[in-house]
Structure 1
Amino acid sequence: KDNIHLRFHFITKISGEEMNHTLNVIERKEIPYPDIIVVNSCMWDVTRWGPMREDDYKEDLIKFFSRIKKILPEDTLVIWTSTLPISTNFTKGGVLIKQLEFMKFSLRFMILEANKFTHQLCIAFGVDFLDLHYHMRFQLHRRSVDGIHWEPQATRYITCLLLTHISLAFDVPLPGRVKGKYIQDCIDVAHNSKDIEPEWSLERGITLRLEEELSRLKIAKKPKLERESSKKSEEDKKETDKQLGNRGLKYF
């Protein structure tokens, strides 16, 4: 409970200067390794940075997850939170400028697709995924009039969801002030999911790109001598997997 240090960064691009600077600082060990990282980047990513941003966003996400797995210790808890549901009526705010107003009717569906894609990446890279979009779609009456932000009651609910997720991840007993079958079912699912073999399914091009990154991560974690001595056997195994059509998570 002592010496708690919090850092907040407003992210407008998952591969932007702010994010890269933060990761560089961590990699150079200028700050201690964080115990918990909570991250999300979507709204600004898909509404800025050019017409081809959708494909670039997918590639940037793969690079981001690959890098954090390389530079962070295994005991660091990384949680990606899904983007919250938005309204089609934006009354203020700088997310959709005049030139992008045509996106207001399609953006909520783009967010759904982005959340689904990121969820698949989290499964592949072994990163926690907290689906705030799912929980908050039942709290739309607590969304602010601007169509993007949320009222204090909703924010406290999000905080509760986040703290509950962290507690379950570290096997810390919950306060238990609220009892109910739904809550207990969620706790049981969280515990049982630790023994479930993860599965993910993406389009072929993304799958091949993802497997390439996962393969690099595996090699990067090996000692140099072991890497050299097992080079041939790894090549043989890779050829065998290819022949068998194995596209599962064989790297973990």
Structure 2
Amino acid sequence: MVFCLESEVLRRPLRSAMVHFQASEVQQLLHNKFVVILGDSIQRAVYKDLVLLLQKDSLLTVAQLKAKGELSFEQDQLVAGGQLGELHNGTQYREVRQFCSGSGHHLVRFYFLTRVYSEYLEDVLEELTYGPAPDLVIINSCLWDLSRYGRCSMESYRENLERVFIRMDQVLPDSCLLVWNMAMPLGERVTGGFLLPEASDRSPWTGATLRRDVVEGNFYSATLAGDHYFDVLDLHFHFRHAVQHRHRDGVHWDQHAHRHLSHLLLTHVADAWGVELPTRDHPPEPWIEDWPEMDHPFQPPPLPPPMSFSYPLPQPSPPPLFPPLPQDTSFYPGQPFPPQEFFSYNPIEDFSMPPNLGCGSRVNFVPGPLPPPVPGSVSHGQHRGPVVHRGMPRCVPNSPYHVPRLGGLCRRLRHSDRLIHTYKLDRRGHTHSGTWPG
């Protein structure tokens, strides 16, 4: 496995409008939570970055990203597979890792998958059924499914997606939040170790085919996950321009990309659990997704010369010597006055909850500092809406799914305006712009 960047130019950390979590905040968000991560090597890196971020504010090293099946990583433990067995790139490869914090309040487990649904996944679900109930499940499987299981791999992938979502809905408790991570974009040339040797020999063809198949597979997985009211995080959208952070094998990503992925994922999870996130001293910035730098500022093209006419055009009439005075709006009896808030509104007022509506006992997130008031004057006739200070706790239901299941196979729809980028699966012409909330 070769970890080289696609471009040798100097790379910089990804910047985002998402919350940049610190280790102490991740510890509070995942306090007394059991997190299960399932998937391929990309998901293994998701697991590693989360385990690292639970302990300290540092990034993964290149050696940690390259390591596969090691006996221990940042105080975690290899439970099964990996170096305890045989290291290989076959579809029967297994690797189970687990991290338990020293305080005993954080448990993270990883299962390596080579197919989204199989007999092995049934064994995993059996462990989750008779063991501790997970609070958060993060799952993805795509590249192995589309490249290692024959000519009808896409049809099999669609069928297995339906099976896995049905089984997850049957096995997981209502209080468990499941997030489907969509596959990240591939490079022009794909040379990952999961490819068969004969496929690697024709890598240009394989790269183009896999890129197309991944887009199609992402569409099916997101649609089916939405049909079962599971959450979907569109990593293909968020990393579509982050070319400088992808390795030359066309599949894997560097430590900056994985930290950005963790921020996106944790922000989504915090929103699903109703946890208000702390603010930072610096204003949020949009993620600069490594667009090509402009050598010179943009200049619009010159305007064409004015059109000439052979005949004189009528000229506008001269303005009056004295412009008319502005007329006041007439008042008639019974006309309602503006609301009192229009005159007495305080733009920096703190809108907190009544004391009788306490927060749930399961949420123990320390509120952050209040942001400064927005500078600038308010023009006459206009007033700002309520200023909601982030970092204040709020009441949280026991389950992220507001309506419990009533004996059906599917989870009930949660009424939540999740995140900024949403996609409605009701086929009413809404545009796709990022993250699907279940």
TM-score (norm 2): 0.41
| Contact 1:85–1:136 (CA under 8 A) maintained in structure 2 | yes
Distance 1:166 1:180 in 2: 19
Q: Deviations over 1:51-93 (max 9, x none)?
A: 1111111111101100111111111000000000011213x43
Q: Which letter maps to 1:16?
A: S
TM-superposed CA distance for 1:6, in Å, is 0.9
Counterpart in the other structure of 1:199? 425
| Contact 2:145–2:157 (CA under 8 A) maintained in structure 1 | yes
| Contact 2:272–2:418 (CA under 8 A) maintained in structure 1 | no
Could you say what the CA RMSD is over the residues aligned between the two structures, in angstroms? 2.5
| Contact 1:124–1:200 (CA under 8 A) maintained in structure 2 | no
Q: Are 2:193 and 1:94 aligned? A: yes
TM-superposed CA distance for 1:3, in Å, is 2.4
Closer, same or farther: CA 71–108 of 1 in aligned 2, 3 Å: same
Counterpart in the other structure of 1:168? 271
| Contact 1:79–1:130 (CA under 8 A) maintained in structure 2 | yes
Closer, same or farther: CA 158–197 of 1 in aligned 2, 3 Å: closer
Q: Deviations over 1:174-220 (max 9, x none)?
A: 1222534869xxx9xx95259x996356xxxxxxxxxxxxxxxxxxx
Counterpart in the other structure of 2:283? 179
Q: Deviations over 1:117-165 (max 9, x none)?
A: 1111111101000001100112111111221111111111001111111
Q: Which letter maps to 2:182?
A: S
| Contact 2:181–2:233 (CA under 8 A) maintained in structure 1 | yes
Q: 1:20 aligns with which of 112, 116, 122?
A: 122
Counterpart in the other structure of 2:169? 69
Q: Are 2:337 and 1:112 aligned? A: no
Distance 1:197 1:44 in 2: 27
Closer, same or farther: CA 73–198 of 1 in aligned 2, 3 Å: farther
Q: Percent identity?
A: 30
Counterpart in the other structure of 1:138? 241
Task: Indicate the SS of the match to 1:129.
Answer: strand
| Contact 1:37–1:76 (CA under 8 A) maintained in structure 2 | yes
Task: Indicate the SS of the match to 1:9.
Answer: strand
| Contact 1:65–1:125 (CA under 8 A) maintained in structure 2 | yes
Distance 1:199 1:89 in 2: 32
Task: Indicate the SS of the match to 2:106.
Answer: coil
Structure 1 alignment gaps of length 5 or more = 202-252
Q: Which structure would you say has the larger RCO, counting Cα contacts within 8 Å and 6 or more residues apart? A: 2
Distance 1:197 1:143 in 2: 26
Q: How does 1:115-126 map to 2 (within 5 A)?
A: 115-126=218-229
Distance 1:112 1:163 in 2: 24
Counterpart in the other structure of 1:58? 158
Distance 1:89 1:197 in 2: 30
Distance 1:138 1:173 in 2: 29
Distance 1:142 1:148 in 2: 11
Task: Indicate the SS of the match to 2:417.
Answer: helix
Closer, same or farther: CA 109–200 of 1 in aligned 2, 3 Å: farther
Counterpart in the other structure of 2:143? 43
Counting matched residue pairs gives: 192
Q: Which letter maps to 2:196?
A: I
Counterpart in the other structure of 1:83? 183
Following TM superposition, the consecutive aligned residue runs of length 4 or more in structure 1 with deviations greater than 4 angstroms are none
Distance 2:255 2:110 in 1: 19
Counterpart in the other structure of 1:153? 256
Distance 1:72 1:96 in 2: 32
For the pair shown, the structure with the greater C-alpha radius of gyration is 2
Closer, same or farther: CA 52–169 of 1 in aligned 2, 3 Å: same
TM-superposed CA distance for 1:104, in Å, is 1.8
TM-superposed CA distance for 1:103, in Å, is 2.2
Closer, same or farther: CA 40–95 of 1 in aligned 2, 3 Å: same
Query: Which structure shows the higher helix fraction?
Result: 1
| Contact 1:86–1:108 (CA under 8 A) maintained in structure 2 | yes
Distance 1:6 1:43 in 2: 24
| Contact 1:40–1:82 (CA under 8 A) maintained in structure 2 | yes
